[in-house]
Amino acid sequence: MSMSRRMNVQQSQELLKFFDEFSKENETQQVSVSPKRADPSELNEIHKNNPIQYYNPQVEQALSKGYQINTIYDLAYLQYPWMQDSGLAAQLLKVDAPLLSSTTAAYVAVHGARAFEQVINESNIVGLLPKFPYTQGGYRALTAAGQTTATGGQSENATLPDSTKPTLQNVDVDIKEHVTTLDSSSRERFLSSIPNANAWSAPGGDGMEALREYMGREHVKLLSRQLMADNDTVVADNVETIDRAVGSFEEVDGNAGIDAGDLDFYGIDRDAGSTVFDAYVSENDGTNRPLTDSIIRSLVENAAPYWDGVNMRGDLNFSGVNNKIWVTGHDTASVIEQIYQGSNRYQNLGARAVKTVNGISTYNTGAEVGFMVNTLYGMPMFRVDDTPADGISRLYLLDLDHMGLSWGKTTMYQEAGFTTGTAILLDRLGDRGMYYSSLELWVDRFQGHAKARDLT
């Protein structure tokens, strides 16, 4: 419709409204006489110079020729003859069948290709732990010194003392395989790839590609859940857990939630009595108690004597608390901030850390590198969503010089099926993908780690 025609319709609506009100006020004065309808061609000639004015002399001219105006519609047809010819008057006066969003096939909601995730896929612990190749099936542990008392002094010309030797023990560290699979039909891949498809898909791709992208994140998230699983369940094919690694006989003794064998690690029995394979655990026999500075300091005091500055890769590290980190949940981190509010023992952005594919490294002095992190007693604290909890999340003090992820094969992705030309081998009209990682949590010194549990 042209601009002039749109103006006619708008002004016609206003005119009809005005005369409808006028006719109601003067209802008793109207003459009930059948009007003489104006011929459209004649009225068009009358109105050809000024067809849309509300009032003009041509109306009087038409009346003088005998046209009678008894209703508002007679006046509308007289002043706007194109309404009579086009049938627009009926459209202006009544709408019987409006087009609505609910009208069949009129509107279809388009949700777009993107899916907004409502799940937590944070996997901080995987990024924090050092990573190195799996080059040996375990290690040899020196579990006891040859002499444990202050001996060795000899008198003049005395005979030599008896020889001694330390106690050695082999520790087997097996490799675990972590797999996450996904699949899609060939039809879904095609339909989700067409330009106008209202389907979940990757930019410029199809639904399988969007699924592959998401499942890659979930593959790492599942690994994080394995690493942070509660120690009350013995792992079978899963990767070992930090909560079991940082365990002790004291945690088993008197704690009704832990059964015999739950904390055995690498096949080492830790429920018969205290051994050198125990970490330090501050616990309360399963009864929750408030987290205090005293509990936190006990973790440092008991773990620090075993920080020798030589890490599991043989690198020298004589810088004290470097590569020692706190790990806990968001709730416990908030409690710690409340405990040390205004104290220099807890500092917001108090240390520098560098995070690479090989984990986290911390620096308290030296060059301006990395990013700033919160520190507690000089060691950075990190929040991990999957941290086991009692009343609130447990608190770990980890020595990253003696804990990390030993990788047999880094994460890879493989896919087979219709798209790759191997549908016959797969025996289905579709595609199947797999994320694969082989690794194990490697801990070659336990006493340098500590944990506080049973907290509120």
Give the pLDDT means over successive 10-residue stretches in the chain (456 positions): 46 57 51 44 51 51 64 68 55 65 76 73 89 94 88 88 91 96 94 84 86 94 96 90 94 79 90 92 93 95 83 52 90 93 61 58 50 77 94 96 94 94 93 96 96 96
Domain segments of the chain: what residues?
3-93, 124-140+168-452
Adjacent-strand bridge partners of 375: 347, 380
Element (H, E) at 441: strand 430-443
Q: What is the DSSP letter of 377?
A: T
**For position 151, what pLDDT does the model report?**
83
Helices vs. strands in the chain: H and E counts, helices first? 14, 14
Residue 30 is predicted with a pLDDT of: 42
Residue 421: the pLDDT is 94
- pLDDT of 355 reads 58
Q: How far apart are CA 218 and CA 212, in angstroms?
A: 10
Rounded Cα distance between 361 and 373, Å, is 11
Per-residue pLDDT at 84: 55
What percent of the chain is helix, strand and coil (3-state, nearest 5)? Answer: 30, 25, 50
DSSP structure string for 12-66: HHHHHHHHHHHHHHTGGG-------PPPHHHHHHHHSS-TT-SS-HHHHHHHHTT
Residue 5 confidence (pLDDT)? 41
Pull the structure tokens for residue 146: 């040859």
pLDDT score of 370: 47
Query: Contact at 8 Å (CB) between 77 and 83?
Result: yes
377: burial class by Cβ within 10 Å (0-12, 13-18, 19+)?
buried
Supply the pLDDT for residue 4. 41
CA proximity to 227, closest of 441, 446, 404, 411? 441
pLDDT for residue 31: 39
442: enclosing H helix or E strand? strand 430-443
